[in-house]
Structure 1
Amino acid sequence: KVTIRALKTVVTAATAGVSVLSLCEKGDAFIMAETGKIFKKEKDMKKGIAFPTCVSVNNCVCHYSPLKSDPDVILKDGDLVKIDLGVHVDGFISNVAHSFIVGVTKVLTGRKADVLKAAHLCAEAALRLVKPGNQNTQVTEAWNKIAKSFKCSPIEGMLSHQLKQHVIDGEKTIIQNPTDQQKKDHEKAEFEVHEVYAVDVLISTGEGKAKDGGQRTTVYKRDPNKVYGLKMKTSRTFFSEMERRFDTMPFTLRAFEDEGKARLGVVECAKHELLQPFNVLHEKEGEFVAQFKFTVLLMANGPLRITNSLFEPELYKSEHEVEDPELKALLQSSASRKTQKKKKKKVSYRAVPSYYTIKIQTLNVFYEFKSFFYYY
């Protein structure tokens, strides 16, 4: 609930004349305020931002979360905006991303509509394909075909990750538009019951080749496998505060009270790979990139998306459509989970520690962070 409410808060505020910095600050502040209201008795429980609010505009692909010292980026009508953020409670993660056009009041056509429709349909296809028994390669192939139908390209080499407690980049991944070498290197995997994924779709009107344009990196995460004795006092102070506040979760330098010291301290930490950077990537100037991300739980009776889409398909009309018969059938199929029949005989329940719990009360599905899966 907090994740979607945070997204809606930022989307509502994203109007012409508003700065990207203010939107990022608003999203992060909302997450911290709302997560601070839950599990108050659990004093040692960490909760808050699982991925800092990023607002990437037009050909900026991802990870743009500026500092106060950075030049202002002001939104204007017609901008294609991508908002990406995440929330966690006790290390249990919920991620989401959404794309839209600023100031759109009537049906939009053209290349922006093409890329938004393509990205949306890729996300919908993934929701139906990321289920127990299927392979990650099936999702990659579907994304390539759908994007091609709209004369677009998935961003090359981008990954969707399995989620685990305190781990935003789990071992199993789904790769977009891999190069020949990436196809050889990327590990094939089968989706399994009770796994959780952050499915991240990034589609471009261009060739799909994202590059680091040299813009300042502001988002990092701790690499728990790296150890190094930092030499500078500023670096040690920064690193100590980072571990205390964020542990292994991604964070932004904007979250530190003294931005100057944070910018200085992060240099040595990143140089010796104690921190992994989330670089700001760009497509070619004049191209547009759309992103949709959702968190999905793989249940025995089907996938359960817990961060719903805010996309309004009626606002965007493309001259292209999916032609592949199998993909058309897939997209037209229901993404709802199958209803499990209740057994009449008495059964004993055994609690198995796992990632998330699903509670079904009447027709409502409630998502809880600290608990177990129950099975017969």
Structure 2
Amino acid sequence: MVAMGDEPKDKGDVILQPAVDGEENSDKEDEPVDAVAPAGEGKKKKKKKPTKKKKKLAQSDPPRVGLSKLFPNGHYPEGELQDYKDDNAWRTTSEETRYLERMAHEDAEETYEHIRHAAEVHRQVRQAARRYIRPGMSMTHIAEYIEDGVRAVVEENGLQAGIAFPTGLSLNNCAAHYTPNAGDKTVLGEKDVMKVDIGVHVQGRIVDSAFTLAFDHTYDPLLDAVRAATDTGIRESGIDARLGEIGAAIQETMESYEVEVDGKVYPVKSIANLSGHSIELYRTHGAKSVPMVRTNDQTKMEEGECFAIETFGSTGRGRVVDNGECSHYSRIFDAPRVPLRLTSAKSLLNTINKNFGSLAFCRRYLDRAGETKYLFALNHLVAQGIVRDYPPLWDARGSMTAQFEHTILLRPTRKEVVSRGDDY
């Protein structure tokens, strides 16, 4: 708009001036005047119809709106950015490194968008789940609430987009690898501590992130310890960071906390035989492990790698053993070619390859795929070294365990905590 009295800068500009009684607006000189208009009145203006504002599409509750409808331009929110520390701090300000990242980003842009797409699905579904989950709900109902949300929001499409691994709902002294099988009647109790571990993938780019729910405030210090330990692991991670040193920092943070239960004080321990891990294409657990205790591992993190920084704290012995009915499985990534004599095992392997590839699955997912009476064939695939089973992992009876986890991306200039949200 040009201010009144200013000259237009070019012929395309329009001067807007109020009409004065008896005068015509200077930009209306060539227009015919209404001959029957009463003296002293200008031409009546037509009333403009109010334009309807488009209502911005929002996520439903429960989450069922596909993310592509909420982000039609295909660009998804960037995660939390953290500068590298110490010897790598120069990466953030280096003009050369920033230039190289811009050049590399052109090639990596699609990969970044896939990861951020999966991360935004994770945020929306888990935040709805955190509001929704309450004591008295069955484990099956909770798992299906989360998984139905992931499938809808990611717009599940075979191996192109979907759930990356079974939803973990491990309770109390069970630290990981529990999800309900068909017929499981377990119900969430008010005194339970539940780890919720959710995986989402887009084009094989996996976001792995977990949190812990406790409705009894007795265990708030345990959750605080594990959340702080995970944040420490994220802060210490970076290009050229040594895995053993990251573990030492995690352990120091974790074990500075204690929990009082019924008048007795329990130190919080890092679970020594669990770890975080690198994430690779269609492979949740990559080749590198990120310990949560001090080790002599001198392996370094490298530019461009993706890691799940997860920590587990316990009021028990700080070590887990596998036990109980198994629910989690995955086809071994580089499984050997073994001749299968059982027709049922061949058929089941075809179902696994078609629906899950190298992504983890559970027995409920096989049920959903239409498989029946498959346990003998599944155990045969495990025995042949084609499929790996992951039984539930337990600390000492009576102890409590907690977990927090985020996925990070080691970009050339900064690390991006892709799964970070307002909730954790």
Q: TM-score, normalised by structure 1?
A: 0.73
Aligned residue among 277, 280, 294 for 1:164: 280
Aligned residue among 278, 281, 302 for 1:192: 302
Q: Deviations over 1:3-23 (max 9, x none)?
A: 122222332332011011111
Q: Secondary structure of 1:197's match?
A: strand
Q: Is it true that 1:84 corresponds to 2:200 in the alignment?
A: no
Q: Secondary structure of 2:373's match?
A: helix
The residue aligned with 2:126 is 7
Q: Is it true that 1:124 corresponds to 2:237 in the alignment?
A: no
Structure 1 Cα separation of the partners of residues 201 and 227 of structure 2: 25
Q: Which runs of 5+ in 2 are unaligned?
A: 1-119, 258-266
Structure 1 Cα separation of the partners of residues 349 and 238 of structure 2: 39
AA aligned to 1:91 is: G
CA RMSD between the two structures: 2.0
Structure 1 Cα separation of the partners of residues 362 and 286 of structure 2: 21
Q: TM-score, normalised by structure 2?
A: 0.65
CA contact 1:56–1:63 (8 Å) conserved in 2 = yes
AA aligned to 1:120 is: R
Quick check: which one's strand share is greater? Answer: 1
Q: Report the Cα offset of residue 69 of structure 1.
A: 2.5
The residue aligned with 1:96 is 209
Q: Report the Cα offset of residue 288 of structure 1.
A: 0.7
Query: CA 1:49–1:299 in 2, change beyond 3 Å: closer, same or farther?
Result: same
Q: Secondary structure of 2:339's match?
A: coil
| Higher CA-based Rg | 2
Structure 2 Cα separation of the partners of residues 91 and 255 of structure 1: 18
CA contact 1:193–1:298 (8 Å) conserved in 2 = yes
CA contact 2:159–2:356 (8 Å) conserved in 1 = no
AA aligned to 2:385 is: E
Q: What stretches of structure 1 move > 6 A for 4+ residues in a row?
A: none
Q: Deviations over 1:38-73 (max 9, x none)?
A: xx7xxx862111111110111111111111133x11
The residue aligned with 1:253 is 363
Q: Secondary structure of 1:51's match?
A: strand
The residue aligned with 1:67 is 181
AA aligned to 1:87 is: V
Structure 1 Cα separation of the partners of residues 254 and 415 of structure 2: 23
Q: Is it true that 1:31 corresponds to 2:140 in the alignment?
A: no
Aligned residue runs from structure 1 range 137-286, under 5 A: 137-150=244-257, 151-177=267-293, 183=295, 187-213=297-323, 215-226=324-335, 227-257=337-367, 258=370, 260-286=372-398
Q: Report the Cα offset of residue 216 of structure 1.
A: 1.1
Q: Report the Cα offset of residue 34 of structure 1.
A: 2.0
Query: CA 1:260–1:177 in 2, change beyond 3 Å: closer, same or farther?
Result: farther
Structure 2 Cα separation of the partners of residues 170 and 211 of structure 1: 22
The residue aligned with 2:172 is 58
Residue correspondences, number = 293
The residue aligned with 1:359 is none
**Sequence identity percentage:** 22
Query: CA 1:20–1:310 in 2, change beyond 3 Å: closer, same or farther?
Result: farther
CA contact 2:159–2:357 (8 Å) conserved in 1 = no
